[in-house]
Structure 1
Amino acid sequence: MDPLTRRKFLLASAGVTGAAALAAGGMGLAELLATARDNQVSNVGDETDKIVVVTLYGGNDGLNTVIPYADSAYYSARPELAYAPEQVLHLNDSLGLNPGMTGLKRLWDDKQVAVVLGVGYPKPDRSHFRSMDIWQTASPELPVASGWVGRWLDGTNAPASAAVSFDPVLPPLLVGETRVGACVAVDGLQLPPGINVEMITALAQKQDGESDLQLRAAEAYQDLLRVNELVQQAKNADVPRELAELGPLPATATGGGSSLAAQLDLVTRCVEAGVPTRVYSVSLGGFDTHANERVGQEWLLKQLDDALSAFLDRLAKTKAGRRVTVAVYSEFGRRVRANASDGTDHGTAGPVFLMGPGIAGGLYGDQPSLTDLDDGDLKATMDFRDVFGTLLDSILQADPARYLNGYQPKLLPLVRRGL
């Protein structure tokens, strides 16, 4: 394939080109699996801390997720949507979880869940696309072309396998200026119509006389194939005997795994196999609840709860699993007052969840007032970059300001040391 044809293909199939980064080197999967099998069950996997970022697409209603059940303004603003105090899973004498989140309430009682209240950013934008872009790039002021994890990949010269997305397409979160993370579909490599693996293999072949940029493109295609093979081998590999005795992850209560459960199952296999990924990205959609919200959101939160509680229960059984931290966020919350369709419209601030054995469970920050509003919306009481900055500092051992476009976060005591 001549360089011009390759360049046209790159432009026409951005979803595929974003699926792999520059030169993915390091230890091979076979060596990692051998290391895992040689260890005791409590030592399976590597010794590095990892983050699983869970994105709730659509704008999750934070007020019906972490419920201010003792606030009369909550009932006044949404009489048909509000949960009665006895329905709420109480966290303290004023806040509680949605009744669909029984698994996370159990983990909360075990002090493995932190809830950061009122998280948002200055001058909020109520567009799904712009607000999600802000969260993933950590740049509220101006649009930028790189995500905060992508900039970490740039700064550490990390391989493609350092940050892996099991979303259908690569999120901006994992895109850097010189490197990008890998995007691997749950069911394997997904290619556009008319494109096959043989064509990708041909694109991965370097040719004499190509520019540095074209050579980098060829390397990216090589990495797409390499990382896809790595994850598929982890998915299909024989599990070490000690792990096999733990059994499979349980199915969700709705009968069969949700797409989030399937994504998290693949993360589990990678962690237990010792795949050297530091950041995983997974997602659950459907949270744009403009009508009939209560039933729909509770069903979605039940999927979230089933998938995450099973995931964390399984990971707690291995040393590598206990080094995993989960962060759950959405692009914005919903308006305080319900609309005429028994739903809620686009709002601003909402809660962020951090969970795992290494998390210092509890409530962080201040719950926004339901009466002191900004044009009907909650006023954020914490900048989301303080949360992500804490993860950069405590989990990735990185300088947060370097990867948050110079923003100096107020670090939160979310992460326990010495696990």
Structure 2
Amino acid sequence: MDELTRRRFLRASGVAAGAAVAAGAGGLGLAGLLRTGSQERVDTAHEGKLVLVTLYGGNDGLNTVVPYADSAYHSARPQLAYAPEQVLHLDDRLGLNRTMRGMKQLWDDKQLAVVLGVGYPRPDRSHFRSMDIWQTASPREPIPTGWVGRWLDGTNAPPETAVSFEPVLPPVLAGETRAGACVGVGGLELPPGITVDSISGLGEREAGESEPQARAAEAYRNLLRVEGLVRGAEQHHQTEPAGAEEPLATGPGSRSVLETQLALVAQCVEAGVPTRVYSVSLDGFDTHAQALAGQESLLTRLDRALSVFLGRMARTAAGRQVTVVVYSEFGRRVRANASHGTDHGTAGPVFVLGPRVAGGFFGEQPSLTDLDDGDLKVTTDFRDIFGTLLASVLNADPDRYIGAGYRSTLLPLFRPG
């Protein structure tokens, strides 16, 4: 077979060419990653690791952390409110949704922190703008970099430092000069007749090529290196003794997308992959109609995935360094709509979970009667949470990466030592 050069491959494969251009422009959005021969291993057992769980659509915080003792909650949502006996009580005012029994156990084990009333100044009810604000940590104006991406820039980090197991690279992992890697869970689809081995030379620079082509070569090298790390994690997982992993779900096809993503995270952590930040997600939280059943189904998936993942992480030293953060772009309005659902709102709870977490409530539960045009008033700025994660998990200066001159107030979310 004739030697396959990058130019010939790019001419033959429009899909691969598009991926290379996207990667060279600052993202690593190839659906899967290519194989590498890199054997470098790094001891990461004692490094903090962060897993960002994004709930797309705007999760209804009032029916997730339920103010069951507040009469205003029941009067605003006569068809949607949970009775006190239906809630998993956390104290005499607030409780978890009845589907979240695994997270209730984490609360009892003091491994779940619930940050109340989280949002940002001058709320925007657009899904896209609001999620952009959360991921870039820039509520004043749109900017092209995420808060994790800026940390990647500042530490001159290789792409495997931050990995997304989502279909596309989220803005939170995009920096100005660095970006995380996007690893699709479905594997790489190559054109007919093309094998992984045959394209191993695509990352080599060629004499006389332009700067964009050189950047594409660098992108391929990054893709190959990260794929090698993930492949190594999979091989490590396959050699684990029987019983080393709890099944995430039973029955064919029963594992949710989030469970699959977190299983990949678990494999990487256990194999010593030098990734510090992982991004995973669960979609479908835009519950405008018949919200009870829809949200309960989603929260059941979330609860099961997180509970099993954290149980698995508790078994190893590296896993015990993992912190999970669960957030959504906004909460919902206090009053139910005419379709037995809720519309786009503002503040909501954020969950922080893991063995290093100091469990309990943080922040102030917003009033359900002192509202801002029908919405909850924000009592905790989301940047204080992200600043705390930068400082306590990534050992970074939060004020350097949160941006826009904001000075984070660090929250006591973590146990000392």
Mean CA deviation greater in 186-195 or 53-62: 186-195
Does the Cα contact within 8 Å between 1:253 and 1:306 map onto a contact in 2?
A: no
The alignment-based identity, stated in percent, is 65
**What is the aligned partner in structure 2 of residue 294 from structure 1?**
292
Q: Is the partner of 2:106 in helix, strand or coil? A: helix
Q: Is 1:386 equivalent to 2:395 in the alignment? A: no
Cα root mean square deviation, aligned:
2.8
**What is the aligned partner in structure 2 of residue 108 from structure 1?**
107
Shift of 1:309: 0.3
Q: Is 1:19 equivalent to 2:28 in the alignment? A: yes
CA distance in 1, matches of 2:118, 2:217: 41
**What is the aligned partner in structure 1 of residue 3 from structure 2?**
none
Q: Which of 313, 316, 325 matches 2:314?
A: 316
- After TM superposition, the score normalised by the length of structure 2 is 0.89
CA distance in 2, matches of 1:103, 1:253: 20
Could you say if the C-alpha distance between residues 413 and 28 of structure 1 is closer, same or farther in structure 2, counting changes exceeding 3 Å? farther
Shift of 1:191: 7.1
Does the Cα contact within 8 Å between 1:147 and 1:172 map onto a contact in 2?
A: yes
Shift of 1:415: 1.1
Within 5 Å, which residues of 2 pair with 1:34-49?
A: 46-49=45-48
Within 5 Å, which residues of 2 pair with 1:14-163?
A: 18-19=27-28, 30=39, 32=41, 46-163=45-162
Does the Cα contact within 8 Å between 1:102 and 1:305 map onto a contact in 2?
A: yes
Shift of 1:205: 3.4
Q: Is the partner of 1:237 in helix, strand or coil? A: helix
Give the aligned length: 400
Q: Is 1:395 equivalent to 2:382 in the alignment? A: no
Within 5 Å, which residues of 2 pair with 1:146-295?
A: 146-189=145-188, 204-239=203-238, 241=240, 244-251=242-249, 256-295=254-293
Within 5 Å, which residues of 2 pair with 1:350-365?
A: 350-365=348-363
CA distance in 1, matches of 2:293, 2:182: 32
**What is the aligned partner in structure 1 of residue 342 from structure 2?**
344
Cα distance per residue 1:175-209 (max 9 Å; x no partner): 00001000001222367999986897575332223
CA distance in 1, matches of 2:350, 2:94: 14
Does the Cα contact within 8 Å between 2:45 and 2:321 map onto a contact in 1?
A: no
Q: Is the partner of 1:227 in helix, strand or coil? A: helix
CA distance in 1, matches of 2:287, 2:278: 27
The amino acid of 2:341's aligned partner reads: G
Could you say if the C-alpha distance between residues 394 and 166 of structure 1 is closer, same or farther in structure 2, counting changes exceeding 3 Å? same
CA distance in 1, matches of 2:46, 2:120: 34
Could you say if the C-alpha distance between residues 130 and 202 of structure 1 is closer, same or farther in structure 2, counting changes exceeding 3 Å? farther
Could you say if the C-alpha distance between residues 261 and 2 of structure 1 is closer, same or farther in structure 2, counting changes exceeding 3 Å? closer
Q: Which runs of 5+ in 1 are unaligned?
A: 22-26, 36-44
Q: Is the partner of 2:139 in helix, strand or coil? A: coil
Q: Is the partner of 1:132 in helix, strand or coil? A: helix
Does the Cα contact within 8 Å between 1:101 and 1:302 map onto a contact in 2?
A: yes
Does the Cα contact within 8 Å between 2:22 and 2:29 map onto a contact in 1?
A: no
CA distance in 2, matches of 1:135, 1:357: 25
**What is the aligned partner in structure 2 of residue 40 from structure 1?**
none
Mean CA deviation greater in 116-125 or 199-208: 199-208
Shift of 1:403: 0.5
Could you say if the C-alpha distance between residues 192 and 96 of structure 1 is closer, same or farther in structure 2, counting changes exceeding 3 Å? farther
Does the Cα contact within 8 Å between 1:116 and 1:365 map onto a contact in 2?
A: yes
CA distance in 1, matches of 2:60, 2:214: 46
**What is the aligned partner in structure 2 of residue 413 from structure 1?**
412
Shift of 1:234: 1.2
Cα distance per residue 1:7-42 (max 9 Å; x no partner): x98994466552279xxxxx9874549x7xxxxxxx
Q: Is the partner of 2:144 in helix, strand or coil? A: coil
Does the Cα contact within 8 Å between 1:20 and 1:181 map onto a contact in 2?
A: no
CA distance in 2, matches of 1:192, 1:284: 30
CA distance in 2, matches of 1:159, 1:224: 11
CA distance in 2, matches of 1:253, 1:113: 29
